[in-house]
């Protein structure tokens, strides 16, 4: 996980070294009920993905003013990359509001 900031933006980039996001859902990820997780991905369990995890995370982040984007690392690297960017003004406004609420 990496963080950068300047006067205009705050940016978080989270990446992993897994298989990457399946290419067929890469441009739709974040929509509800979108899943490619199979039961055997959970170590032989019976649980399928509901396809709600990324949707919920993205929805909550966007509600804080963030823009969220998904890519994969480029071969020969592998893994998913999620970039979350806030306008700095919006980020600081949120912090001030929470301080006020206490
Ligand atoms: N870090 C990741 N690497 C590779 N694929 C991912 C990653 N995160 C999500 N995905 C893909 O995106 C799909 C949607 O993810 P999401 O977390 O929304 O659903 P899920 O994990 O399948 O189910 P749920 O989170 O509701 O239990 C996953 O099924 C998986 O195919
Ligand atoms: Mg999930």
3-state secondary structure string, 29-69?
ECECCCCCCCHHHHCCCCCCCCCCHHHHHHHHHHHCCCEEE
What is the distance between the alpha carbons of residues 65 and 97, in angstroms, rounded to a whole number?
14
**Domain boundaries 2-101, CATH class:** alpha beta
Summarised one tens digit per residue, pLDDT across range 14-67 is 999 999 999 999 999 999 999 998 877 666 666 788 999 999 999 999 999 999
Domain boundaries, the chain: 2-101
What is the distance between the alpha carbons of residues 76 and 80, in angstroms, rounded to a whole number?
13
Ligand nearest to the CA of residue 50, numbered in listed order: 1
CA 53 to centroid of ligand 2, rounded, Å: 4
Ligand 1 atom 17: residue of nearest CA? 53
Neighbour count for residue 66 (Cβ, 10 Å): 19
The predicted model scores a pTM of 0.86
Residues with CB under 5 A from ligand 2 (ion): 53
**Phi, psi (rounded to 5 degrees) for 3:** -130, 140
Summarised one tens digit per residue, pLDDT across range 4-16 is 999 999 999 999 9
Residues having CB closer than 6 A to ligand 1 are 16, 18-22, 29, 34-37, 49-55, 80
């Amino acid at each position: 996980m990496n963080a950068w900031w300047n006067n205009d933006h705050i940016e978080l980039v989270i990446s992993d070294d897994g298989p990457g996001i399946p290419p067929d859902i890469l441009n739709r990820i974040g929509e509800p009920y979108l899943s490619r997780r199979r039961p055997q991905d959970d170590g032989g369990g019976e649980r399928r993905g509901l396809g709600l995890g990324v949707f919920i995370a993205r929805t909550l982040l966007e509600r804080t003013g963030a823009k969220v984007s998904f890519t994969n690392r480029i071969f020969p690297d592998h893994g998913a990359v999620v970039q979350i960017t806030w306008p700095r003004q919006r980020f600081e406004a949120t912090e001030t509001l929470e301080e006020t609420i206490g």
